[in-house]
Structure 1
Amino acid sequence: MTNQAQLHEELLDALTAGGSLRTDPWKRAAAAVPRHAFLRGGFFRHTTVEGFSAWEPVLEGEDGWLEACYRDESLVTQIAGTIVPSDVRGQITREPTSSSTLPSLVLRMLEDLQVAAGMRVLEIGTGTGYSTAVLSTRLGEQNVTSVEYDEGVAARARTALAQLGVYPTLVNGDGLLGHADGGPYDRIIATCGVKTVPVAWIEQTQRGGMILATIGGWLGASELARLTVRDDGTASGPLLSGQVSFMLARPHTPPPLGLLPDLSEGKERETIIGADVLDDWTSRFIIQFAVPDAQRLTLNRHGHTEHVLIDVASGSWAALYEDRGRWIARQDGPHPVWDAAEEQLGRWHAAGTPAVEEFSITVTPEGQTLSW
């Protein structure tokens, strides 16, 4: 057995033991697709430069490249929207914009998609093409359509798939619009995060079909939802357990904060719930449904730390700080940010803080709502 084959087998054994890979059809599909074939352009390894977070390239054939391809880790494949590993010598301190998702999450989501033979699937976010290949192996390439927003990423995925002899329908375009020409689909799966589930996805899914997507927001908390499309053109369904995180689709990323408002203005009141709840993943996820356009930052002002939520579009903001054991909120703008957050959290606490697995999401043309 070659080193690559052994590493592949060991990874699949670990994913099976961990519960990500659960059924024989997906085990066979995963065994047929070598992950390293989609990482021949290399990846970026996290490092630090003078205390700052940075990335350094690891290219095919270098020490550790093959072993990393078969570890259950996400591997960054693009930085700052255009930069790939072969472009860099040394380190780079920009933000990642594309990655090869950790295999356990890819395969767990494919299992959660609940497909059957002959079903047609639309994948949003081709990425490296690895998940596209596994889908095509399981369902047949004629039943798989995949959309990638980034032209360079799409081209590299197309090449990697072709080298394995896999030819699904590949589309370079805005995945938030789906791909109506190939619809309707039995399943839609998104390998990027979304702030709101696009109506186009619902319209392009068969009635009774499912959409599997990671719903998140600008406070940095997201969860995986499996929605069933109803006869009335709405979709609803549960959240699946586990804190699932993907990079947001680029059109759903937050706008620049720009010039901050005068945080000395506004009305103050003592809060019922303090800003320390922002350290809790589930609390942040819930708050995002009350203030979906709010972004968070912390500032040191007047001898204490202020936790600030800002809605750039409306100009609304809230700044919270702790004073002798009490939390104080100072707010301004047309929509009191912390009032809305506190009301939403209050309903959750009144219900006994049910777990994420008891949450459900409903999407209509008017928007999406969270309930429990």
Structure 2
Amino acid sequence: MSYEAVLRRRLAEQLAAGGHLRTRPWRDAVEAVSRHELLRGGFFDRIDGKGPTAWVPVMSHDPLWLERCYEDESLVTQVAGTIVPGDLRGEIMRAPTSSSTMPSLVVRMLEDLGVEDGQHVLEIGTGTGYSTALLCHRLGDGLVTTVEVDDGVSARAGAALGTCGLFPRRVVGDGLAGHMAHAPYDRVIATCGVVTLPYSWIEQTRPGGSVLATVGGWMYSSELARLTVHQDGTASGRFLGGGVSFMLARPQAPPPLGVLPDLSRGNERRTAIGADAVDGWDERFVAQLAAPRAQHVRLDRDGRTEHVLLDVEAGSWAVLWEDGSDGWAVRQGGPDRLWDDVEEHVSRWRADGSPPLERFEITVTPDRQSIAWPRRAE
């Protein structure tokens, strides 16, 4: 057995021991697919310091590169929308825009997808092609369609998959539109996050089929949702829990904050719920339901820490601070009262017993997406 095969088997054993890899077909796929072939172009290592996060390339000639390819970690493969490891010597301080997701999450999602032999799968977000390769091994190339918005990312994945002898139907385009030409699909799986689940994914899925995607908001709390498509063209389901997070699909990423509004003007009051209410994952998810287009930033100003919620497109904002009497104050401006909505939503969720996110239900129709938790009986 080659050293690479030993690494593949060791990874499969680790994923199985962690409860992520649960069935034989997917274990066979993990033991067969060479993740390192999909990372030949290298990846970026994160360098933390006092300033902004920096990234440094790790190339295939690095003595630890091969072993790192089979660790259960996400590996950033592109930053700033265009820069790959081979483009750079030294550090870069820009945001990641593509990565190879940690294998434990990849196989957990594939297991949760509930795919069966002979089913046709649409994958949104090809990335490096690792999950694509696992799908091809499990189902066969002809039953896998994968869509990637970035033509460079798609081309690199296609070349790497070809090296592995895998040739899925590969499409360059907006994954939020799906790929109608080869619909309907039995399963749709997204390896990017969304704020609003596109209805195109629903209408391109057979009745009885499933859509698996990570749904969240611009406060960056998200959960994996599995929906079943119904005969009437709607879909519904629940969240699966576990705090799953992906980079947001580029068309649904938040806009730049730009110049902050004058936070000294607006209506001020005390608030029963402070900014610490959005520290927890579940609480922040609930807050996003009330303000899905709001971003949260912290400012150190006038000797205190202020928490700012800002909806750039609507022009609404709220700033919160501890008022020195074991409470919080809020000042709000713009056409909407962001914190009033958040406060009402979080208070109602708490009054209903703070149900966990896996009890929330999500419904998608041609017109809207709705997310609700079980209400406590009066």
Q: TM-score, normalised by structure 2?
A: 0.96
Tell me which residue corresponds to 2:371: 370
One-letter amino acid of the counterpart of residue 222, structure 1: S
Aligned residues of 1:123 and 1:145 also touching (Cα < 8 A): yes
One-letter amino acid of the counterpart of residue 79, structure 2: I
Q: Distance in 1 between matches of 2:118 and 2:316?
A: 49
Asked whether 1:289 is paired with 2:289, we answer: yes
Q: Secondary structure at the match of 1:97?
A: strand
Give deviations 1:77-101, integer Å, cap 9, x for gaps: 0010100111111111111100000
Tell me which residue corresponds to 1:299: 299
Report how far residue 300 of structure 1 moved.
2.1
One-letter amino acid of the counterpart of residue 249, structure 1: A
Q: Distance in 2 between matches of 1:302 and 1:161?
A: 55
Q: Distance in 2 between matches of 1:365 and 1:344?
A: 25
Q: Distance in 1 between matches of 2:45 and 2:169?
A: 31
Q: Secondary structure at the match of 2:47?
A: strand
Aligned residues of 1:209 and 1:228 also touching (Cα < 8 A): yes
One-letter amino acid of the counterpart of residue 371, structure 2: L
Give deviations 1:161-216, integer Å, cap 9, x for gaps: 11111111000000000000010101000001111100111110111111000011
Aligned residues of 2:191 and 2:213 also touching (Cα < 8 A): yes
Aligned residues of 2:34 and 2:164 also touching (Cα < 8 A): no
Q: Distance in 1 between matches of 2:367 and 2:337?
A: 22
CA-based RMSD? 1.1
Report how far residue 30 of structure 1 moved.
1.6
Q: Secondary structure at the match of 2:348?
A: helix
Q: Secondary structure at the match of 1:10?
A: helix
Tell me which residue corresponds to 1:112: 112
Runs of 4+ in 1 over 4 A off after TM superposition: none
Report how far residue 284 of structure 1 moved.
1.0
One-letter amino acid of the counterpart of residue 350, structure 1: A
Tell me which residue corresponds to 1:162: 162
Tell me which residue corresponds to 1:255: 255
Q: Distance in 2 between matches of 1:49 and 1:266?
A: 37
Give deviations 1:291-332, integer Å, cap 9, x for gaps: 111011111223221111011111111111111211111111
Q: Secondary structure at the match of 1:165?
A: coil
Q: Secondary structure at the match of 2:94?
A: coil
Tell me which residue corresponds to 1:60: 60
Give deviations 1:89-130, integer Å, cap 9, x for gaps: 111111110000000000000000001111110000000011
Instruction: Report the identity percentage.
Output: 60
Tell me which residue corresponds to 2:376: none
CA 1:264–1:49: 2 relative to 1, 3 Å: closer
- 5+ long unaligned stretches in structure 2: 374-378
CA 1:351–1:50: 2 relative to 1, 3 Å: closer
Aligned residues of 1:289 and 1:369 also touching (Cα < 8 A): no
- 5+ long unaligned stretches in structure 1: none
Structure 1 residues 119-128 or 327-336, which shifts more?
327-336
One-letter amino acid of the counterpart of residue 349, structure 1: R
Aligned length: 372
One-letter amino acid of the counterpart of residue 34, structure 1: S
Tell me which residue corresponds to 2:146: 146
Report how far residue 49 of structure 1 moved.
5.8
Q: Distance in 1 between matches of 2:9 and 2:32?
A: 11
Structure 1 residues 41-50 or 11-20, which shifts more?
41-50
Aligned residues of 1:124 and 1:190 also touching (Cα < 8 A): yes
One-letter amino acid of the counterpart of residue 121, structure 1: V
One-letter amino acid of the counterpart of residue 365, structure 1: P
